[in-house]
Amino acid sequence: MRDKFNGEVVKGVIFDLDGTLIKSPLNFKKIKEKIQCPSEESILEYINSLKEEKRRKALRVLISSEVNAARDSKLYPGVKEVMNYLKKRKIKIAIVTRNSRKAVDIVLNKHRLSFDALITREDASPKPSAKPLIVASELLGINRKNLISVGDYKYDLIASRKAGIKSILVTYEGNQEYQNLADWRVSSLREIIKILTPAPG
Ligand SMILES: [Mg+2]
């Protein structure tokens, strides 16, 4: 893995939310049980496959869990520091998440965070689709080669790769499972500053 973001200038950073910027007590296993989603299936894709009435019900269960988790969420160490660094360097920031707009608004209010673009699952078909990252690039007005994405899950990395955006895997728990899908791996958010800071000269 390289040390720096060489070749192109970083003009924007796209962050995943849950597990990347915030630690949220969202319990996917419990939600899956409640809505009878098979454990190996992804929740959103499962819900989308349901018929209307069942689909609406499952979505309500999911959103209410997301809202509760958002209220109890905690920022990971280094988030504010990284945001200040990016602001100082005039690097734009976006959130691309599979979470709902309702939960994301709660998180941003609670932790006093603001972003130049915010793409939730209501805005574009969610990751691992490249679509929300492409939308982020358009909303930020930044070419994809000048963007970098940060996430904790394979969907973040797969979506980034499909969109032609370089990615950083953040693994707070030391999970290295997906690192072959990422351009860099860090074990704390602060480390991305080192990647984004241009080499002198
Ligand atoms: Mg995540």
pLDDT tens digit string along 101-147?
A: 999 999 999 999 999 999 999 999 999 999 999 999 999 999 999 99
How many A from CA of 30 to the centre of ligand 1? Answer: 17
Token pair for 2: 């390289």
Q: Is 181 helix (H, G, I), strand (E, B) or coil?
A: helix
How many A from CA of 194 to the centre of ligand 1? Answer: 22
Could you tell me if 150 and 16 are in contact, meaning their C-beta atoms sit under 8 angstroms apart? yes
What was the pLDDT predicted at 127? 98
How many A from CA of 11 to the centre of ligand 1? Answer: 22
What was the pLDDT predicted at 177? 85
Residue type, 159: A
CATH number of 12-23+76-196: 3.40.50.1000
What was the pLDDT predicted at 198? 81
Low-confidence ranges of the chain (pLDDT < 50): 1-3
Percent residues over pLDDT 90 in the chain: 87
For residue 165, give the nearest of 136, 186, 188, 123 by alpha carbon. 136
What was the pLDDT predicted at 7? 62
How many A from CA of 200 to the centre of ligand 1? Answer: 33
How many A from CA of 120 to the centre of ligand 1? Answer: 12
Asked whether the whole model's pTM tops 0.85, one would answer yes
Domain definitions of the chain by residue range? 12-23+76-196, 28-71
